[in-house]
């Protein structure tokens, strides 16, 4: 299957997560919102350069782990896409209720322009690789395609990881200015 189709599948899974977020009652989330406040308080004293590193490493680690674990029925990339879509909608709904649509857009769009495509591209690579491993396990004649698939999907993963750098820079240095 072409990588373009895997991107479409990744977008659909992310969209399903977005829709699930719309179906989630906000009251369900507000009970757990304290965890985000605690995390924010924990990260607040960090210098911006350290915060940049935490954001970048966290996002990159999530993509790499998803890629590595993708051969297990593609469960991790599927969960990563749907949970991220769900979480984005739930948090967006809460922010709109507490602040405004403008506040949400200022906090999300600048870095989201890079981070969401990175998520989609990286998870599409993970889905593609995981599916190829599954096919290679059951069809011996397809095993010779495993290494070329791995190399190609690693290239897409690298593109996604590179996109996380400007996303982390913007999230660390520009987003706080826009929100203050």
- The number of beta carbons lying within 10 Å of the beta carbon of residue 130 is 24
- Range 48-54, long-range pairs (CB < 8 A, 24+ positions): 48/172, 48/173, 51/172, 52/168, 52/169, 52/172, 52/173
pTM, 2 dp? 0.90
Look at residue 31 in the predicted model and tell me its pLDDT.
58
Look at residue 1 in the predicted model and tell me its pLDDT.
75
Q: E-strand spans in the chain? A: none
- Mean pLDDT computed over 79-102: 94
CB proximity list for 111: less than 8 A, separation 6 or greater: 166, 167, 168, 170, 171, 174, 175
């Amino acid at each position: 299957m072409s990588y373009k189709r895997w991107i479409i599948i990744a977008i659909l899974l992310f969209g399903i997560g977005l829709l699930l977020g719309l179906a989630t009652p906000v009251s369900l989330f507000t009970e757990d919102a304290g965890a985000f406040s605690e995390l924010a308080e924990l990260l607040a004293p960090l210098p911006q350069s350290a915060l940049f590193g935490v954001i970048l490493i966290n996002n990159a680690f999530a993509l790499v782990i998803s890629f590595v674990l993708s051969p297990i029925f593609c469960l991790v990339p599927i969960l990563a896409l749907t949970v991220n879509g769900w979480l984005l909608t739930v948090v967006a709904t809460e922010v709109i209720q507490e602040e405004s649509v403008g506040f949400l857009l200022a906090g999300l769009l600048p870095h989201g322009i890079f981070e969401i495509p990175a998520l989609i591209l990286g998870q599409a690579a993970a889905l593609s690789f995981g599916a190829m491993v599954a096919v290679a396990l059951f069809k011996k004649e397809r095993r010779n395609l495993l290494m070329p698939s791995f190399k190609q999907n690693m290239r897409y993963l690298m593109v996604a990881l590179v996109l996380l750098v400007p996303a982390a820079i913007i999230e660390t240095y520009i987003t706080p200015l826009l929100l203050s």
